Amino acid sequence: MEEFGIVKKIDGNIAVVTISKKGFCESCTLGLCKSSEESMEINALNHVNAQIGQKVKILIKPYSYIKGSILIYGIPAISFVLGIIIGREIFGIQLGIFDPDSGSAFLGFGALALSLILVKIWSSKLNQKSRLLPVIKKIIE
């Protein structure tokens, strides 16, 4: 996926680039983030030595996009379902600690909350890996 943006800040070989949400978000079918802001900032590898204020073409690797989607949506959903099943079957029926419905709700939401915290930590670590960052491919202006 290619985007165009303007370099706002440079920190070593990482550039902060402002891109239009219109281009970035038009491929999204959900449309949940109806933000009033028309642009957003992303970090990108700056191998072409772009300077502040220059318009650049950015390549976002499909692998990174898919991996991010799975991380943000898939892991919490799976954790929630597994928490419900484990809460009902083990804590509710087998051990009798909770009412099956209460056990499934308690463990389901607990697993969801824990997975969201872990996803936040994991995504911040992944964001620091340069192979997953978007790359500035070309200086336009």
d(CA 19, CA 67): 21
Tens-binned pLDDT, residue by residue, of the chain (141 aa): 788 999 999 988 889 999 886 655 555 555 555 555 678 888 889 989 999 999 999 988 777 667 777 888 899 999 999 999 998 888 877 877 778 888 899 999 999 999 999 998 887 776 666 667 888 999 997
Cβ-contact 7, 53 below 8 angstroms: yes
Helix, strand and coil content of the chain, in percent to the nearest 5, comes to: 50, 25, 25
3-state secondary structure of 7: strand
pLDDT at 28: 59
Cβ-contact 12, 31 below 8 angstroms: no
Domains in the chain with CATH codes:
2-61+132-139 (2.40.50), 64-127 (no CATH)
Cβ-contact 39, 80 below 8 angstroms: no
With 0.75 as the threshold, say if the pTM is over it. Answer: no
pLDDT at 5: 92
